[in-house]
Amino acid sequence: MQLQANPGSSDSHPWHRLGRLSTAELVAELAPHAGKALVFAYDGRDVQAGYHVTEVKAGHFASIDCGAMPESWRETVIQLWDIPAEPGHAPMTVAKFLAIMRKVAEQVQFADDAKLTFEISDGTRAMQIFAPAAIELDGDTVRVELRPRPASCKPRDRWLEQDTAETSDGCGCAPAKDAVACCN
């Protein structure tokens, strides 16, 4: 996939689908802000200003889940090294991040629908896995909020997804915030 900037409409932001932002969607959302600083936030704090992208991986995975069902997906993994900046250095710009992604795309093919994952470590602690949760503009900074990506039971997830869809489709309204169906 060629990574090209085609910003989406302002009323249809992909980050409303928590953890389901693709590489192409991330690039498209960042592209209009090339001159701004790019900061990733996780565990209630921003990465340190010296962070850098240590690796970008594109993979195709096949597995058997705990319900003995086959699973298959594509994933793009962006690995960040969270380290302090040299004195006088600012965080990476959106333009530099996009240049890195373009360089990677010259040699690694990204699937349009690949799940986007971030791996972060300070070089001492084990890597942690995160999914994008939101993109926020804050003056001259674009902040990508990351949330932990916990393990889950795929059969339960499928059931919950189906149950939510049936509840929503069956009555024309979404489930209530407290997870109780809106229709009785």
Q: What pLDDT digit, counting tens, does each position of 27-72 carry?
A: 999 999 999 999 999 999 999 999 999 999 999 999 999 989 999 9
Contact (CB, 8 A) for 132 and 146: yes
Rounded average pLDDT over 1-21 = 43
Position 162 scores a pLDDT of 87
Residue 183's pLDDT band, with cuts at 50, 70 and 90, is very low
Position 170 scores a pLDDT of 52
Cβ count near 145 (within 10 Å): 17
More confident residue, 82 or 14: 82
User: Looking at 1-5, 76-80, 106-110, 156-160, which range is the least confident one?
Assistant: 1-5
Tell me phi and psi for residue 89, to 5 degrees. -95, 140
Rounded to a whole number of angstroms, the CA Rg of the chain reads 18
Tokens of 86: 């040299």
Which H or E element spans position 168?
Answer: helix 154-171
Give the whole-angstrom CA distance, residue 27 versus residue 21: 10
Model pLDDT for residues 88-135, shown as the tens digit of each residue: 899 999 999 999 999 999 999 988 789 999 999 999 999 999 999 999
